[in-house]
Amino acid sequence: MTSVAPVLPDGFVVIVKRECATCQMVEPVLKDIAGHKTPLTIYTQDDPTFPESVSAIHDSDLAVSWHNNIDTVPTLIKVVNGKEVDRTFGWLASDWQRITEIPELGHDLPAMRPGCGSMSVDPDIVDKLRAKFTDSPVIARTVEFSDAEDEFEAMYARGWTDGFPVIPPTRERVLRMLTGTTRHPQDVVAIAPPDLVELTVEKIAINAVMAGCLPEYMPWVIAALEAVCNDQFNMHGVLATTMPVGPVIICNGPGTRAIGMNSGINAFGQGNRANNTIGRAVQLTIRNVGGGRPGEVDRATHGNPGKISFCFAEDEVGSPFTSLATERGIPLGQNAVTVFAGEGPRCVVDQLARTPEELTNSLVACLQTVHHPKLVIGFDAILTISPDHGRVYAEAGWSREKLIAELTERSMTPGADLVRGAREMAEGVPPHLRDATLPKFRPGGILLTYAGGGAGLFSSIVAGWANGAIGSDPVTRVVGS
């Protein structure tokens, strides 16, 4: 698949294409250079008959252009003993004169004219060239579909999808995906559960292609997979549980805006490519590399649609609170992901509260219902405050710490109301807690975030799974490069 970089001949080398008006303009100049003693070699990208007045070599496979990093035509290169010693691109008379040492070169042309894009960087073919010429250590087994097969049906039939169509991970697409990370394709990112196999950057890239990611999402996908594949998050248990949870990915940092993530209107919903495909890539990787499939290790009773993808960014710019990542020890300005074993989001409506105390009481009443009103401490939750609710806290000057403290205090419930059998419900906490007074959540059990559209006096709750050492703890990881 790879090729040895062609050695440029000594003398002057010029790369041109007929389609470029500047290349056409410099044709007399090329003829002039050819008349001097230093040898001139011209490579033409598109039309082998161009230029007509001087002979040229057709760079038909664009190998010369690719290996010499030609971005613009015309490009003039000076080669001495097989090594490039000088280069200019486009037409800048003074540069061409200096490099060729022909003082009057192109004296009748304008002093400067920009060149055109080289065919070797044409977006339509650059992926094919990268696949052909890059000596990339991509080692995945190739699967060739027959002429009669529809590749989308074939990939579904092999069990590689989440039920939606996936993008075929061709070598070209995977190599393009790998340009999104500085990590080596064979770097092992994690040991992927449940099959406990080495998860390489290459395999992540293949699944990221299938999910529909752009290359710039790769560092986020890698960080999220690092965050879920460890004993603390316990991805194996998150899969195996009958509860309806999957990895919910919360993204923080300026990079969320750079890759166009949605933290506003419909932040949890459809329509944003980064949000949806980053979460989907994580799930497809766990499915295909880890081997975690519904009905096999995944035993969820109902599951939830967020197990296809549930990933969003915090609105750090609009938030009255410090961010979740900051709270979890990530320096401001650093990109990070936090993963949480969570179910689908539910809405908290309070359109009448105008004081932080009233609003907090409403939030507590709804948070109490997480999994069961009589089960406490064993489950964490993400609480996402919307801008309209956030304003109530901002105007009252409530910080993250203040809100968490108030939520905790206002959730305190007598054990007599929570024990098994109380309130005519069998479910509840063990009888020995009858005389205790218990908060709904353990310390750190509320993951306070801020996101959502500018209109709507609603907040949102994502309930978690069994927390701590017996289940899953949220994990935060810095997003690398």
Question: What is the contact surface with other proteins in residues (CB under 8 A)?
Answer: 138, 140-151, 155, 160, 168-171, 174, 192, 195, 197, 202-203, 206-207, 210, 231, 234, 236-237, 240-241, 284, 288-291, 466, 469-472
Q: How far is the CB of 471 from other proteins (least distance, A)?
A: 5
- Compare residues 59 and 162 and give the one whose CB is closer to other proteins: 162
Q: Which of 472, 82, 88, 430 is nearest to 248 (CA)?
A: 472
- CA 472 – CA 234 distance, rounded (Å): 6
Q: How far is the CB of 139 from other proteins (least distance, A)?
A: 9
H-assigned helices in 197-339: 201-211, 218-228, 235-240, 255-258, 273-285, 324-327
Given its phi and psi angles, is residue 423 left (phi above 0), alpha (psi -120 to 50 degrees) or beta?
left
Give the β-pairing of 446-450 and 197-200.
unpaired
Structure tokens at 265: 């209107």
Q: Could you tell me the smallest distance in angstroms from the CB atom of residue 76 to other proteins?
A: 39
Indicate the residue among 47 and 151 with the shorter CB distance to other proteins.
151
Distance of alpha carbon 196 from alpha carbon 290, whole angstroms? 7
3-state DSSP call for residue 45?
Answer: coil
Residues 6+ apart with CB under 8 A from 237: 465, 466, 471, 472
> Would you say 151 or 388 has its CB closer to other proteins?
151
Using the minimum distance from each CB to other proteins, give the nearer residue, 90 or 193.
193
- In angstroms, give the least distance from the CB of 215 to other proteins: 16
Is beta strand 336-349 parallel, antiparallel or unpaired with respect to 458-466? antiparallel
Cα separation values, 217 from 251, 273, 384, 464, Å = 11, 10, 23, 26
Q: Are 471 and 234 in contact (CB under 8 A)?
A: yes
Shortest distance, CB of residue 203 to other proteins, whole angstroms?
A: 7
- Least separation in angstroms between residue 115's CB and other proteins is 35
> What is the full DSSP assignment across 390-425?
HHHHHHHT--HHHHHHHHHHHT-EEGGGTBTTGGG-
Count of Cβ atoms closer than 10 Å to residue 347 Cβ = 11
DSSP string over 369-398? TSS-TT--SSEEEEEEE-HHHHHHHHHHT-
Residue with tokens 């080596």: 184
Question: Please, which residue, 1 or 85, has the CB nearer to other proteins?
Answer: 1
Minimum distance between the CB of residue 236 and other proteins, rounded to whole angstroms?
6
Q: In the complex with other proteins, which residue's Cβ is closer, 42 or 466? A: 466
Between 105 and 224, name the residue whose CB sits nearer to other proteins.
Answer: 224
> Which CB, 105 or 177, lies closer to other proteins?
177
The residue ranges of DSSP E strands in 19-82, in sequence order, are 40-44, 57-58, 72-73, 75-80
Nearest approach in angstroms of CB 393 to other proteins is 35
Cα–Cα dist 276/257, whole Å: 15
Nearer to other proteins, 201 or 367 (CB): 201
Closest approach, Cβ 1 to other proteins, in A, equals: 12
Give me the count of residues in the chain: 481
C-beta closer to other proteins: residue 327 or 473: 473
Q: How far is the CB of 238 from other proteins (least distance, A)?
A: 8
